[in-house]
Amino acid sequence: KLEARILSLEMELDQLKKTGLELSEQSKINAELRDENARLKAQMANLNESLEKSNELINEAQNEAADARIRIAEAEESQRLAAEKVMKMQAEYKESLAMLEEQKELEASANGLVLPRALKVQLAMYARYFNAVFETNELLRRH
């Protein structure tokens, strides 16, 4: 009976040793899993930080693009206004030249002495036209 009891206890001891080895192995696996989990959490935190920075850069780029579109629209409007002004001045200039020609013809036919005054008027018209062109160029240069 004693031998059977010893044999039974030895078998129990062997079983406990196996269980202890299994628990030790399981403990190692758990430690490795905890380490891997910590590494993955750190990696996830880094990825989240990178994502936030990327989103900030994207937002900045979108804001800069919106600002650029506004500046382009303003420049186009300014250019359109300047072009309208040039066209208006050209029309006024052509009209003035036509009136001046008419006046020169009338004055030349009526009296040869009035011609110098007509030339003065023509010079004033030229000065007005070139001054307007200069102002328009200045507007275009600023935008």
pLDDT tens digits for range 38-91: 999 999 999 999 999 999 999 999 999 999 999 999 999 998 998 898 888 888
3-state secondary structure of 111: coil
CB of 128 closer than 8 Å to CB of 113 = no
What are the backbone angles phi and psi of residue 111, rounded to the nearest 5°? Answer: -160, 125
Percent pLDDT > 70 in the chain is 89
Within 8 A by CB and 6+ apart from 117, the residues are 107
Which of 127, 118, 64, 117 has its CA nearest to residue 93? 127
Q: Return the amino acid letter for 136.
A: T
Reported pTM: 0.48
